[in-house]
Every structure is written in structure tokens, then in C-alpha cells.
Chains A and B, each alone.
Chain A
Amino acid sequence: MPGTLLGSHLLLGQPAMTSPVPAVTSMATSTSLASAAPGSFVQSIDWVAIAPPLIAALAALGVLLADLFLPAERKRALGWLSVGGLALALIALLPLAHGDARSTFCLRNVAGATGNAALSSGACSYVADHFTLAFQLLALGGGLIAALLSVHTVDEEKLPGGEYWFLLLSSATGAALLPASRDLATLIIALEVASLPAFALVGLRRDGRGAEAALKFFLSSVTATAVMLLGVSFVYAATGSLHLSAIADGLAHAPAQLKPLAEAGAALTLVGFAFKVAAVPFHFWLPDTYTGAPIPIAGYLSVVGKAAGLSGLALVTTIAFRPYGHTWGLALAVLAALTMTAGNVAALRQRGGTPHSAVRLLAWSSVGQAGYLLVPLAAAGYSEAAEPIGATVVYALIYGVVNLGAFAVVAAVSRSTGSRLDDYAGLFARRRWTALALAFFLLCLAGLPPGIVGLFGKVVVFRAAVDAGLGWLAVVMAVNVVIALYYYLVWTAKLFAPAEQPVTERRLPAPLAATLGLTAAVAAVLSVAPQLVLQVAGGSLF
């Protein structure tokens, strides 16, 4: 990973290298560890800032190596190694949480940032600010929960351990790198590092469904990347830079004959990201992919995969394409309205008796939730500052916790009965706490007390829309919340209904029980003290 980063940077840094001033970062925040002698051509790297993705990447390599030397009966240790690696990466976020944003891989002079101190600090390829930290928390935390969920899945479904854990860690690394990247090349590389392992993870279960799911996912995602790359090349041609802040400058001052090119480039880039977040009309791959994938991977994709796409979209729109704010604001608002409506209506149509209907329902509901997540992004297009983005971050964090919790319950129930919605009838009688936890998660997703944290997530999203003057979008979202409540409620009611037939319950594996307890506890604590997560919406992010 560091190699990739450095490589991409050096490539981009060529103008700076040829300039008389050596490309030395003068960031006061860089640690003594990383400080280089002035005048040297060696870049100084803020190792603390890049630690979270770096640790995850090293853990991935470590797992791959350990897989070669561990005897077959001890492969279980790989899972715990990965969990430990992700936990370490999460701990590495702590030193960054306080203090100012830290940047590394910076250029002194790039096009559009000549000599201006404020702008040159934006011409960094890696920035660890609050936005980055929040999304890294989501990516690594989501990865950790998915890893805990996977421990027994890998065993029971006889998935190849070394590959599975390596791919999961690699994908989490990409997702953690993405929100920190501030130039388009790093951004796309991070996005691909996050997605490419995911294709393989989806296809790891070697049955027909897994292969089909992986192929669908792969084809749609590769198309998206291709479209996005075309867009990026147009933008680069029009503005002469890949750094996001420099692009914003370049777009504002682009010569008239390059305007169409720049606009087409921006539009194509957005289309690419729309694929990644599964916004309508680029969402068809999603339900089949989720049902074909192992359940922990479906949960991982629904949270971390979406978070990666969203953070990229947020960075590109609010920083790089700032001058086109009103245009993409409207486009994203329409996209948000379509996405939430299509997702919720499709989720409404899931019938309890069809195979995998629980996973399909969560898949479609995640499309609907992606629609809500897009609302503050759209609102950001209409406001001067990037403030509304905070609502997306808050909602994504809340959604991440409760959606992974719901997937944990699905994983638990599918071990004993199956993953049809009808299999959940009478769960309360069989497994009190599991049923109560699922009811709580579903009500959080629906945004109704006692799921207070989900309710406040919706409130901040509504607030972003109302503040930006997007009243119509707020009303569309209100209707959608009601539609969504119906299917969440039908599922919740099923938990307390009498069972169809007696079921013998298997004991819950410890990692699964731990995941359930962890997610439920976090959601419950956040319901009592929503300030813990909502403060993200209050402060400045960038």
C-alpha cells in the first residue's frame, strides 16, 4: 500500500520535481520520525497519519504469508489475526482524533496553487481530517464487525481461509484509504483496492449463485470504473491537475472552449460513483450480489462498500466540482429521490416465503438507505460550505452499526432455520435477546423509538434538506420513511408471532454472539447519548 501511494504521488509530483524548489513538505505536524533533512529530495511521510490503512494493509500481507506456513488445523488463527489487525488499525485512529488535520504526500507547487499557503495545503494526496477519520472509523469498524461475523462462516462453509482474510483486509484497506485521498488518481486506486477483492469475496462460495453474483458485481463495477476513468481524464485535460482543490480552481477558471469537456468529465465521474453507491438506475446488481455472497460479506458490502463510494462522491463533489454546485446538487437530489423510492418500493414487494427474502429485503432497504445518504450531499450543492456533509457522515455511521447488527442476526438465524422472512416467525419465543436485538436494529433503520439513534439520524438528514431549501426532497423522503416503516414493521411483528413449526436451536458461536452484543450495545448507548455521534454533524469536517 505505501508503495502504491508513493508511486502514484511521485508520478503526479513530476511538475514539482522539475521545479527549482525541492519537493519537501514543510508541514509542522509531521513527526520527528518522518522529518527529512531540508533540501533533500526524499519525501517526508507522516507515518502516524497514514497508520490506519497501513496497518490494515500490513495485516493483509501478514495473513497471506502466515497462510503459507500455518498447518491446516491452525488456520482458524488467521481469522483472529485479521480481527486483531483491524482492531489495531482502529486504535491507530485515536492519536489522530485530537488536534488539527494532518496532511502528507504534499506538493509545494502545483497548477493553480502557486505560492498560496492556503491552497498548497490542499495540494496533498493524503489528508487525515475529521471527514477522513469518520469514514475510516466506519470502514475499519465495519470491517472488524464483518470479520467477527466471518470467523464461524469461514469454518462452517469451508471457505479458503487465507484468501478470504487477505481479501477482506485488502478491501478494508482500500475503503480506509479512500476518504483520505485528495487527488483523483489515489481516489480511483483506493476505490479499486476496495472493490477488486470484494468481487472475489462474493464469489468465494463455490456454488452457482456465488459465481453469478460475483460476475454481475464485477461487470457493473468495472463498467463504472471505466466510465469514471474516462471522466477523470477529461477533467484532467480541462484543468491540468488531479488534485481535488486544484481542480476546483481549474474548473472555475477554465477557458471557454474547455468548458464542455470539463462538464462532460464531471458528469461521467459522477456516473461512475453512482454505480458504486448503487444509486438508481445503477442498482440492479445489488440484490443478486448480496444473496449470492456469504452473509458477512453482504453485510460488509452494504456498509463499507457503500461508505467507500459515498466518501469518494462527497470528496469529488464538495471539493473538486464545487464550482458546479447547483448542477450536481440538483442531479444528486433527483438521484436521491429515485434511489430511495425505488429501493423502498422494491423492499416492500419482498414476500416472506421466497428463499433468501431476509437478505433481499436488507439489500433493497440498503438501496433505500443510500437514497437518504445522498440527500445531504445534494444539500451540500446548494450551500456555500460543506456543512451538510456532516449529516451524511452521521447517518452513515449510525446506519453502519445497525445494519451490520441486522446482518449479524440474519447470520445467526440462517444457521438454524434459513434466511426467509418466514423463518423469523416466533424468534422471540426461541431466542429472546436475539429477537429483541433485531427488533431494535430494524426500528433504528426505520427511525422510530425506541430506536432513538435512527430517528436522530433521520432528523439530521431532514435538517440538511430543509436548511438547503430542498423542501420537495424532504417531503419525498418523509413519504419514503413511511413506506420503509411498513416493511421493517412487518418483519418486526413477525419476530413476536407464533412460530410456524418447532425449530431446534443451535448454540450461537461466541464471535457471533459478541458481534450481536457489540452492535446492540453501541446502538443502545447512542440512543441514550446521540450527541456522541451527532457531534460529527456539528463540527467542521475538512
Chain B
Amino acid sequence: MNAVLIALLLLPLLGAVATLAPLGTDPQAADRRALRLGVAVTGAVLLLTVVLAVGFDHGAPSRMQAVTDLRWIPAIGVRFHLGVDGISLPLIVLTALLTFLCAVYSTKRLPDGEGTPSARSFTGLLLLLEVGMLATFAVLDLVLFFVAFEIVLIPMYFLIARWGSGQRVPAANRFILYTLLGSAVMLLGFLLIGAQAGTFDMTELAAAHGSGLSHTTQVIAALAIVAGLAVKAPAWPLHSWLPDAHTSAPTVGSVLLAGVLLKMGTYGLVRILLPIVPDGTATFAPYLGALAAVGIVYGSLACLALARPGAKGDLKRLIAYSSVGHMGFVLLGIASLTPVGVNGALFANIAHGLITGLLFFLVGAVKDRYGTADLDTLAGTTGAALYGRAPRIGALLAFAAVASLGLPGLAGFWGELLAMFGAFDPAAGLSRPAFVTYMVIAGLGTLLTAGYLLLVVKRVCMGDPSAPPAGGPEGAGQPAPVAEIPDIRPYEAVSWSPLAALTLVAGLWPALLLGLSDPAVKHLLGGG
């Protein structure tokens, strides 16, 4: 099994290197070959993750499996330590799935235009990105985690800066500078832990559960780590890079950014912060909970403001802000420090990856068809009437929106419910009134979320398909929406249906994920 895990990291890396090799003299043929190579490699990776999931001992998800533990840099005590447990396995599968779907989607729909680089570079960067994302969830050494955390930055930077639209270079700069500042501070926290505990090994440190680290060390290290991961998650008020990055990123970039990159932050909180510096975490949990609650309401209000008629709201921006709200639930669950809350957080993590990935795909398709993602231009006077013009896309968009607002029976429901449960009865030592307040605020946030998502569905999906397009006064300077648009295309159906199906499965059968994560979470929290 450990060979599978190593191959999982090696395969995309080799694929990325292969895109540098000459693929033929004709640039167009080389591009096609590169895109096919991307699909083949990501497909193989997805198969490997399925093998990993099947071979995983589901009877003991709290145990690290497929472990590789080698000396890499003895000089500074860094080990090449890999492994998966019930917490990381779902995230690895999600990552491989989303990357594969993105690769499939890109074969037909790669952003083009003046100055867009070749598809070879795109494939190379996508594969490099996959290496970093998978490695983040698979490594068990603090320094290695930091390295994996950093690997994703350069590919994502170039995906936004070169294949994006609008203010793409400033957005990409803001993304990378914010994240790097966060992760550099996080590294200081890791080094402090390493200096005190004498090891960077996550499993050892988690087993020690904070013993050997003084309270002061724990508090300082926790502060540094929370700061770094909160930028990535993102937690309010460190989220301001996210809307710009999402608005400018190409569809594939948005899907991976929301679907995987944000999860790296919350995964780090669960994997590193909770078990390794428990005292420090307990000190900061109430503040983290407060930030989460503010983030939930802030994200929803920002979305409501964007969804209003006349606000010139960009749909991608809106979904980016909705991510701030949804990640707020994840953070709230983690801050409760209870098994229920953390399980909910992990579930919400996966659910958000599936649903928001789907939403970004759909919005990307709408943007392609109409040439704009501006809600006012799209909606015109009566609404964009997707139900009438492209009924399948309209139905999928409505499905994703309803899943996102947390309808019972779909994936979005369980995670947020459990996170709020966790906040209702937080771990011993945390102020219950404070957390109950956060829970009430979060509950209010769900109402607001339902409000803006239904508003978006109303403005985008409903309307009169025969109404004249609103290209007039307020749409000056923007492309007028087209009246006739094609419905879902085969490659779109292929890349979207797995996400929709999994959203349904996770909603109807939550035990599939919770059964994996629950023992592992209890183990990390020191209970089992």
C-alpha cells in the first residue's frame, strides 16, 4: 500500500516533467498531446486513490496506513514520512477526483485569448499543483507539510496570472503574497515546536499530545500556526485575497482553489493544531470561534449585497464570498474542540469541495455562454431564464445552490449541522455561553445563506426566455447576453455529474464519511 501512496505523488510529478519534453514540432498537436497526457496522468492518480481507498483498513481508520518513513534530511531531523488515516483519505480522493475532472474539462474548454500560454504549460502546472495538494494531505512531517503547502503556490499563481481574466495579475500577486506571509509565520511555529520537542514528526507529536511543550511555547506556536492556516482557510478578516483570486481565476483554477486549496488550511488545523499544541489551541479556540461566526455572517451579507439587483455583482465573486461563509462553519466546528464539531468540520470540508466545485464549473459555463458573469447583465429585466434556455444547466445550478444552502438530504446539510451541534456543547474548559452565541449567529447565517442563494437561483434560472436581452443603458461596455445558448455538452456532463452524484450520496449516506473520520478524530483529540 505504501507504494501506492508514493506513486500517487510521483506520478503527477513525472507527468509535469514530461510536459517539458518535446512533444512534436507542430505546436497544436503538442498541445493536444499534453492535454491528453494530463487526463491520463490525473486519471491514473484517481485510480490509485480508489485502490488506496479500497485497500484501506476500514476497521481501523484511526491508525496511520500505507506508511512510509525514511530519513530524508537527518541534518535537521526531517523525515520523509507519509501515511493516510480516516481524516486524510477522503481529502486525497476528493483532490484526485477534482483534478481529474478539471483535466477532462480542460481538454475541451481551455481559456484562450491573446497572450495565453500553451496548453503544455497548463498541463504541467496542473500536475505540479496536484503534487502539492496530494502531498499536503499525505505527509506526516511538519517541515514536509510546509514544503507541500508551498508547492501549490507557484502553479496556482501562474494559473491565475496567465489564464485568468480581469485584474488577474494583481489578484494573483495578492493570493501568493498573503499565503506566503501566512505560511512563513506558520513555519516559525513549526520550528518552535521542533526546537522544543526535538522532532518534526506529526504522529509522534500528536501522540505526545502537547507533553514536553511548555504552555508559553504552545500558545506562541498555536498563534503562529493559526495565523498561517487562517489565511489559507480563509478565516475572516484574513480572507480578502480570496474574492479577487476567484473572480480572476479561470474556471479550473477556481474549482481547485475552492475545492482543495482552502481545505489545506482547515486540514492543517485538525491535523496539526488540535493534537500537537492542545493547550495553545484551547487558549485560542474562543477567538477562532468568534472569527468563524463573524465570517459566516460577513460572507452571507456580502453575498446578499452582491446578489441585489443593480449591485453589478459578479457571480464568481459571490460564490467566493459564500466560501468564506461556509468555511466559517468548518472553523466553528474545529473551534468547538469536540469530536462532534470536528467531524462536522471535516464533513463540511468535503461537502464544500464537492458543491462549490460544481458551482464554479456551472458559473464558468454560464460565463462562457454569456460572455460575462455579471449578475445584472445576465439577469436583464426578468432573469437569465436558464430554465427556459438551457434547462439542464439551470436544474444543475438550482441543485447545487440548494445543496449549498444546506438542504437536508444533500451533502451541505450534515457538516453544518454537526458543526453547530459541536458549538452548542463545546469541549470542557471552553465558555459555553460564548459558543452558544456563536451557534445562534451561525444559525442566522444559514438563513441569510438560504436567502442569497435562492435570490441567485431566481435571477439566473428563472425569467422569461423570450424577453429582450438587457444590453441597454446599464449594460454599456459589456457584451450583450445572447438569447440562444447551448445546453449541457457531453464533456461538461462528464465532468459535472460525478460531483452532483457524490453530493447526493454524501447527503443520503453521511456514515460513509463520518465512519472514517470519527475514530481518527477521537484519536487526535486524545480520546481513543
Contact = CB atoms under 8 A, between A and B. Distances in A.
Interface string B170-198: 00010011001100110110011011000
B173 A466 contact: no
Contacts of A481: 180, 184
B176 A485 contact: yes
Nearest to B181: A482
A449 B73 contact: no
Contact of A478 (B151, B162, B188, B194): B188
Contacts of B147: 449, 452, 455
A493 B176 CA distance: 13
Interface string B1-43: 0000000000000000000100000000000000000000000
B345 to A, nearest CB: 28
Given A475-B188, A485-B176, A463 B195 contact: yes
Interface string A520-542: 00000000001100111110000
A497 interface: yes
Contacts of B181: 478-479, 482
Nearest to A484: B180
Contact of B173 (A436, A452, A489): A489
Chain A interface size range: 35 or more
Contact of A474 (B150, B173, B188, B194): B188
Contact of A462 (B20, B158, B188): B188
B72 A450 contact: no
A281 interface: no
Contact of B176 (A436, A456, A467, A489): A489
B132 interface: yes
Nearest to B117: A496
Interface string A478-498: 110110011001000100111
A448 interface: yes
Contact of B154 (A450, A497, A534, A538): A450
A456 B74 CA distance: 13
B184 A463 contact: no
A238 to B, nearest CB: 36
Given A443-B154, A466-B192, A489-B176, A496 B76 contact: no
Nearest to A539: B75
B180 A448 contact: yes
Nearest to A390: B75
Contact of B185 (A459, A475, A530, A534): A475
A436 B20 contact: yes
Given A485-B180, A530-B73, A534-B73, A449 B187 contact: no
B390 to A, nearest CB: 35
Interface string A432-464: 000010000001000011101001100110110
A481 to B, nearest CB: 5
A436 B169 CA distance: 20
B115 interface: yes
A489 B158 CA distance: 10
Chain A CB within 10 Å, residue with most, of B128, B147, B162, B191: B191
A486 B173 contact: yes
Given A449-B147, A496-B162, A478 B75 contact: no
Contacts of B191: 459, 462-463, 466-467, 474
B154 A449 contact: yes
Contacts of B74: 531, 535, 538
A489 B128 CA distance: 17
A471 interface: yes
Contacts of B162: 496
B195 A455 contact: no
B195 A448 contact: no
B75 A450 contact: no
B340 interface: no
A306 B204 CA distance: 41
A454 to B, nearest CB: 11
A448 B192 contact: no
Contacts of A496: 117, 121, 158, 162
Nearest to B143: A459
Interface in A158-182: none
Interface string B145-173: 01100110110011001100000010001
A515 B169 CA distance: 33
Interface in A86-128: none
A482 B177 contact: yes
A456 B150 contact: no
Given A460-B76, A466-B192, 12 more contacts: A448-B180, A450-B128, A462-B187, A467-B191, A467-B195, A481-B180, A489-B173, A531-B73, A531-B74, A534-B73, A534-B76, A538-B76
Which 10 A-B residue pairings sit nearest by Cβ, starting from the closest?
A: A538-B75, A478-B184, A534-B75, A449-B151, A466-B191, A482-B181, A535-B75, A531-B73, A467-B195, A449-B150
27 contacts: A448-B180, A452-B147, A455-B150, A456-B73, A456-B76, A462-B191, A463-B76, A463-B195, A466-B188, A467-B191, A471-B188, A474-B191, A475-B185, A478-B184, A478-B185, A482-B184, A485-B180, A486-B173, A493-B169, A497-B115, A498-B115, A530-B72, A530-B73, A531-B72, A534-B73, A535-B75, A538-B74
